[in-house]
Amino acid sequence: MILDLIYNLSVLISLSIFSGYADERFSRNSLPGKVVQGFLFGTFAIIGMMYPFVLREGLIFDGRSVVISLVTLFFGPVSGFISAIMAVIYRVWLGGAGALTGVLIISFSAITGFLFYRYLEKKQKDYLSLGGLYLLGIIVHLQMLLLMLSLPWDDIAQTLKIITPTVLGAFPIATLIIGTILLEHRKNKVSLAKLKESEERFRRLSENAMDTIFRFDYVPVRKFTYVSPSVFDLTGHQPEEFYKNPQIIEKIFMPGEYEKYARTLTGDSEFQNVREFRWQKKNGIPIYVEEHKIPIRNDEGEIVAVEGIIRDITQRKETLKIWLENERLSAIGQTSSAIAHDFNNSLQAIFSNVELILFDDTVDEKIKSKLRLVQDISEDAAGRVQTLQRFGADNDITKGFSPVKLVKIVNDVILQTRPLWKYEAEKKGLFIEVECDIDETIMVNVNQAAFRSALYNLMKNAVEAMPDGGNISCSASRDEQWVTILLKDNGKGMSPEIAERSFIPFFTTKGFEVGRGIGLSGVYKVMKDHGGDIKIKSTMPGEGTTFEIKLPVIFGEEGEINLNEANKPEGKLKILWVDDDQNIRDIASEMITTIGMTGQVVESGSEALALLSGSDYDFVITDVGMPNMNGWQLSEKIHEKFNGNIPVAVVTGWGSEITDDKLKEHHASYVLPKPFRVKQLLELVGKVSLEIIQK
């Protein structure tokens, strides 16, 4: 009898393995999966009843209680109900004295399995422990023994005597064994699902990551076993190219870099987890990359593979370079601020003396022509000082705008760059032709020094782009909104990638020692400051480059300085001019007379205050940078002593940086940027004169 029951349970244990195969094909969480498991376990129960231990006709014992309780526990009430109905139908069909008891055992086994199932749901557990499975077997089969009381009275005692040891001994163990098989399969399936989810998550991350993820095996053969798709953006090569040809990595490294990299891959040298290298893309553009990798070692400690991430750090390198350049230029700006005052004083002396000579009708026109060139060059020198100052502070160049003929500025730049495109070129046996085709009537409103400096840099770039000589042309047109300037050369041109980055600050293809000008980023800023724009209209390697500049259109004529009576301000102002530089004082005295005003020039703030106390002055012009009492302090004392009735103008090389708020803070009314021209002085005096008359 015992052997028959054990055989029956063994068959059920073997058949339960099929549940795992069904679970692979049909998810236990889906309705089809639940139905399949119900029919499968119902079939197992019927098979058990087909080969039972027969106590007497109609009174059989098998493992259906184990099967029904476990299917309900592991697959839920739907599966339990289906398997229980199948088992009940078959047991009723068999009939006999134990039919009712058999049906009750099936029903209570399903109910007990369901109660354990609900317990797991309530506790939010995935499965029972081994102890819990054994407890389920004990409870189900204690119930089974109690249900023996439903047998005919004559069969109860004999039945309990025969089956009790087996039911309480073998059946709970069978429950534990079959339950363990189902439990392990479920754990494996959960683990596989988590592993699959993890792999899918890793795949999504790696395939969508901006960084390139890779694995490179050394044994049994050296090859890439994984390269993420982002390698195409990084190098221009598809992942398949790395799989087919591992040596492609050698071509990506810049000359001399691969040898250093190869040494880090061997076990002979110390393994370095993080390194930087210089690569070049498939199209030849150089980039910086940073590699983070870890070694994969075998049991002997030998490196058999590496896994890692490669990141493009070109932008980081360029940002660092920009920061270093900014630090360098900030230092230049700080240094230039220390010398700007004296340098602008010197420029002011040149400016004013040249202008005063130009106003003299007795001077020969040929000499005046040369002096005008000196004047323009001095203006450009002042512009270069302002450019340096703009690197150290954010100055507004728009305060120095004036209308001028475009052709005049372009011709000035052509003349200033003549040593580059003519003399230097001829030394090398080259010929560079420069053409200008601009209508005399086209006017622009610009800061002439800054605009000339920008055009100078474009011309210089064009000359440097023609190592074999060539042609540079400048033309212009205008419509109702814009003046459009085209500067074209037929030099070596630029690749689309270089052209795209050309306006980035400090980007250069000339190397650190050559690329020291303001660069295209500086030119771009100048054009934006003028309310305009600049772009590369066309460029191709070997076909030259065309820059397009747009400036707001203006109509009118260039203002000429004419010191006849009609241009002089109304009224005769008495001006007190304060400056500690003797050269400026000499020029200031003559300029006051030249513009038809009267006044006096002194060298210190204390002298100025003394004169103001003893005489009536209409207007004070003072330098800012003076010893003992600077121009700001003098302005404050004049405001305090004379109740703000005497307007003050400050003269400074940092004029474009002085804001209205700073003027108000020190009770000054005007600013005259140094170096200034007589026209600017006339405009200032005219403004002061008009305000005095209106008062």
Q: Which residue has the higher pLDDT, 416 or 570?
A: 416
Predicted confidence band at 93 (pLDDT cuts at 50, 70, 90)? very high
Whether the predicted pLDDT of 388 surpasses 60: no
Mean pLDDT calculated for residue range 394-409? 74
Mean pLDDT calculated for residue range 108-118? 94
Q: Which residues of 249-280 are buried (b: 16+ CB within 10 A; e: fewer)?
A: beebbeeebbeebeebbeeeeeeeeeeebbbb
> CA-to-CA distance for 102 and 159, rounded, in angstroms?
13
Identify the pLDDT of residue 473: 95
Identify the pLDDT of residue 622: 95
User: How confident is the prediction for the chain on average, in pLDDT?
Assistant: 83
- What percent of the chain clears pLDDT 70, i.e. is strictly above it? 85
Q: Which residues of 139-166 are buried (b: 16+ CB within 10 A; e: fewer)?
A: bbbebbeebbeebeeebeeebeeebeeb
DSSP, residue by residue, 279-310: EE-TTS-EEEEEEEEEEEE-TTS-EEEEEEEE
Among the residue ranges 200-209, 236-245, 653-662, the one predicted with the least confidence is 653-662
Whether the predicted pLDDT of 647 surpasses 90: yes
Among the residue ranges 153-167, 214-228, 424-438, the one predicted with the least confidence is 153-167
Among the residue ranges 306-315, 361-370, 512-521, 569-578, the one predicted with the least confidence is 512-521
Identify the pLDDT of residue 648: 95
Predicted confidence band at 513 (pLDDT cuts at 50, 70, 90)? very low
Predicted confidence band at 391 (pLDDT cuts at 50, 70, 90)? very low
Whether the predicted pLDDT of 397 surpasses 80: no
Predicted confidence band at 324 (pLDDT cuts at 50, 70, 90)? confident
Whether the predicted pLDDT of 561 surpasses 80: no
Identify the pLDDT of residue 381: 73
Identify the pLDDT of residue 339: 65
| pLDDT tens track for 458-500 | 999 999 999 999 999 999 999 989 999 999 999 999 888 788 8
Burial of 346 (0-12, 13-18, 19+ CB in 10 A): middle
Mean pLDDT calculated for residue range 573-601? 89
Mean pLDDT calculated for residue range 166-193? 84
C-alpha pair distances (Å), 268 with each of 262, 271, 272, 299, 441: 11, 9, 12, 17, 76
**Extended beta strands in 504-659, E state:** 533-540, 544-552, 574-578, 598-602, 619-623, 648-652
Residues 6+ apart with CB under 8 A from 570: 686, 689, 690, 693
Predicted confidence band at 334 (pLDDT cuts at 50, 70, 90)? low
- What percent of the chain clears pLDDT 90, i.e. is strictly above it? 32
Identify the pLDDT of residue 268: 45
Whether the predicted pLDDT of 689 surpasses 60: yes
> CA-to-CA distance for 502 and 519, rounded, in angstroms?
9
Mean pLDDT calculated for residue range 381-393? 59
Predicted confidence band at 244 (pLDDT cuts at 50, 70, 90)? very high
Mean pLDDT calculated for residue range 566-573? 62
| pLDDT tens track for 183-226 | 888 888 778 878 888 778 877 777 788 899 999 998 888 899 99
Predicted confidence band at 15 (pLDDT cuts at 50, 70, 90)? low
Q: Which residue has the higher pLDDT, 388 or 173?
A: 173
Identify the pLDDT of residue 7: 56
Distance of CA 20 to the CA centre of its chain: 51
Q: Which two tokens stand for residue 240?
A: 């398949």
| Tokens 């302002």 sit on residue | 386
Which has the closest alpha carbon to 541: 318, 315, 288, 283?
283
Mean pLDDT calculated for residue range 384-405? 62
Whether the predicted pLDDT of 112 surpasses 90: yes
Residues 6+ apart with CB under 8 A from 211: 228, 230, 309, 310, 311
Contact 454, 390 (CB under 8 A): no
Mean pLDDT calculated for residue range 231-241? 92
Predicted confidence band at 515 (pLDDT cuts at 50, 70, 90)? very low
Compute the chain's Rg from CA coordinates.
48
Predicted confidence band at 271 (pLDDT cuts at 50, 70, 90)? low
Contact 173, 137 (CB under 8 A): yes
DSSP state, residue 333: H
Predicted confidence band at 435 (pLDDT cuts at 50, 70, 90)? very high
Identify the pLDDT of residue 4: 57
Identify the pLDDT of residue 238: 93
Whether the predicted pLDDT of 285 surpasses 60: yes
User: In terms of residues, how long is the chain?
Assistant: 695
| 273 three-class SS | coil
Q: Which residue has the higher pLDDT, 518 or 591?
A: 591
Q: Name the pTM for this structure.
A: 0.42
Predicted confidence band at 666 (pLDDT cuts at 50, 70, 90)? very high
Q: Which residues of 208-240 are buried (b: 16+ CB within 10 A; e: fewer)?
A: eeebbbbbbbbeeeeebeebbebbeebbebebe
Identify the pLDDT of residue 394: 47
Most confident listed range (98-102, 349-353, 503-507, 571-575): 98-102
Identify the pLDDT of residue 551: 94
Mean pLDDT calculated for residue range 50-56? 82
Residue type, 139: I
